[in-house]
Structure 1
Amino acid sequence: MQSSRNGILRYPVYYLKNTEIFQNIVVRIEEELGIPQNSGMFLYGMRVLCGSSKKSIELKYQLFKTFGWTEYDISELLRRNPIIFLICEEKIRKKLDFLMTELGYKPHFLATHSPLLSLSLEKRLAPRHHVLLVLKEKGLLDYNFYTAAIKTEKQFLKILIEPFKKDAPGLLELYQSNKGCSNIDAILR
């Protein structure tokens, strides 16, 4: 109930609609997005339908199809993480290209592990991928990318940077430069 109140308080404009329009949106969330009213994702579905035009949603739907996604995979993604459809098409395209072309992930995996599509490509996915490549190349560690990507910054630094400072000099600097920030030292303290 707490998250429902937070959603309503943060985005009241979505709920201040004519009753007929509001009912139509509720029906569309279930029918078009496949999100039942009792789902924790229902309010996010409301944000997607209220914050995007039908054309924008359709264009993103077609974008996923160009990467080989099936109707089922897209529906699964929408049910699990509808907010992805609020991301601009270009960012979605770049993430899909990186995750599918470069890393080899399949649509169904990404649909069921949707946080990967929510994370920043430039600030999180690519920099962490570079670190994992270095660790693997040096024979120090072969770590699961999804697990590394969803770790907090502090966890990532503690588990995948700190223990390898001696064996992989420059790893922290590589991570900082790829990430475009220099305040990582403060996190390590």
Structure 2
Amino acid sequence: MWAFIDSAISISEKVKLNEKNKYKFDCVISFLKNNHFSDAQITKLVELYPFFLCNKLSANLDPEMKFFAENGISGLLIPKLLIACPSILCGSLNSLLKPSMSNLREYAKDPEKIVVSIHRGPWIFSSKWMNMNRILDYLSESGVPRHKLEELIVLQPRCLYQKLERIEYAVEILIKDPQCLACSEKKLRVAMDYFVNIVKVDRETIIGYPKFLTYSIEKRVIPRCTVWKILEEKNLTQGKFVWVLNKSEKTFMEQFITKHSDAIPSLEKIFLTSRKPASGPIDVD
């Protein structure tokens, strides 16, 4: 059993591993084994957070584990939860864990989704939950559908820890696709500027399909736009350019480059070169 404790020594010497603490540590490790932890998971937990061994069964582990079980998090979900956020059982049950869980369950009911959310944003069970609550309330009042908020909490919980001003800027877009919030404000502004002023996409189209804003301008948008403009000049295009962005790289190459390689032999070279600063002009055959 001390093999688990040895792993903590290499990570932190702050936990005093002496004979006086041996019984306490043994109890914690036995507790973990009784709660579906494998030897490998115990080792990982101790390496991530050696202070976990200092938890008291009656004061911390037992009541808080009961609390998670009451909220559907039990069995094999417990190791996933504690490894995702090792310090979670060190917080106050009444002033931190309960309000945080209540706030989270307003939007994510499934225990597995809750664990995934905590794994991606462990700060959810910290004092920062109050900021998350303000953001969620604002988005809900602004018309973002409930299922979209759940999607945001589960897939991009870190997005909820930022200034409300930034959320206000992009609320119309967020109503359609909350995951856009994962992009920095700078990226959203640069992308919006490029689409509106360079590609000439109307604002309604962008709001209707905001995923456009998540694409890399340098690696995806500019190279495809370059190819599109060349094809457009030769009357070889149909529809709107923006829908070309959805296509996979393979499909785009087949439909817009390989297909026209006979008419424009240099098209592939232009496409590849447009992804990086060109050393000189490239002629279009």
Q: Normalised by the size of structure 2, how large is the TM-score?
A: 0.50
CA distance in 2, matches of 1:105, 1:168: 26
Q: CA deviation at 1:49?
A: 2.0
Q: Is the alpha carbon distance of 1:18 and 1:150 closer, same or farther for their aligned partners in structure 2, counting shifts above 3 Å?
A: same
Q: Is the alpha carbon distance of 1:127 and 1:2 closer, same or farther for their aligned partners in structure 2, counting shifts above 3 Å?
A: farther
Q: Is the 8 A contact 2:226 2:271 kept in 1?
A: yes
Q: Is the 8 A contact 1:131 1:174 kept in 2?
A: yes
Q: CA deviation at 1:86?
A: 3.7
Q: CA deviation at 1:29?
A: 3.8
Q: CA deviation at 1:24?
A: 4.6
- Alignment partner, residue 252 of structure 2: 156
CA distance in 1, matches of 2:209, 2:196: 13
CA distance in 1, matches of 2:129, 2:272: 51
CA distance in 2, matches of 1:20, 1:150: 35
Q: Is the 8 A contact 1:29 1:42 kept in 2?
A: no
1:101-137 per-position Cα deviation (integer Å, ceiling 9, x unaligned): 1222222210011111111111111110110111111
- Alignment partner, residue 201 of structure 2: 105
Q: Is the alpha carbon distance of 1:145 and 1:7 closer, same or farther for their aligned partners in structure 2, counting shifts above 3 Å?
A: farther
CA distance in 2, matches of 1:116, 1:146: 8
Structure 1: give runs of 5+ residues left out of the alignment.
62-73, 182-189
Highest CA radius of gyration, 1 or 2? 2
Q: CA deviation at 1:55?
A: 4.0
Q: CA deviation at 1:97?
A: 1.8
CA distance in 2, matches of 1:19, 1:133: 47
CA distance in 1, matches of 2:135, 2:125: 12
- Alignment partner, residue 133 of structure 1: 229
Structure 2: give runs of 5+ residues left out of the alignment.
1-109, 278-285
Structure 1 moving runs of 4+ over 6 Å: none
Please tell me whether residue 94 in structure 1 is matched to residue 204 in structure 2: no
Q: 2:125 aligns with which of 10, 16, 22?
A: 16
Q: Is the 8 A contact 2:220 2:245 kept in 1?
A: yes
The secondary structure found in structure 2 opposite 1:77 is helix
1:148-180 per-position Cα deviation (integer Å, ceiling 9, x unaligned): 111011110111111111101110011101123
- Alignment partner, residue 160 of structure 2: 49
- Alignment partner, residue 275 of structure 2: 179
Q: Is the alpha carbon distance of 1:170 and 1:6 closer, same or farther for their aligned partners in structure 2, counting shifts above 3 Å?
A: farther
Q: CA deviation at 1:7?
A: 4.7
Bigger RCO (CA 8 Å, 6+ sep)? 1
Q: CA deviation at 1:144?
A: 2.4
Q: CA deviation at 1:146?
A: 1.8
Q: Is the 8 A contact 1:135 1:142 kept in 2?
A: no
Quote the sequence identity (%): 22
Q: Is the alpha carbon distance of 1:166 and 1:75 closer, same or farther for their aligned partners in structure 2, counting shifts above 3 Å?
A: same
Q: Is the alpha carbon distance of 1:12 and 1:85 closer, same or farther for their aligned partners in structure 2, counting shifts above 3 Å?
A: closer
Q: Normalised by the size of structure 1, how large is the TM-score?
A: 0.71
The secondary structure found in structure 1 opposite 2:147 is coil
Q: Is the 8 A contact 1:41 1:79 kept in 2?
A: no
Q: Is the alpha carbon distance of 1:174 and 1:5 closer, same or farther for their aligned partners in structure 2, counting shifts above 3 Å?
A: farther
Q: Is the 8 A contact 1:119 1:125 kept in 2?
A: yes
- Alignment partner, residue 36 of structure 1: 145
How many residues matched? 165
CA distance in 2, matches of 1:165, 1:2: 53
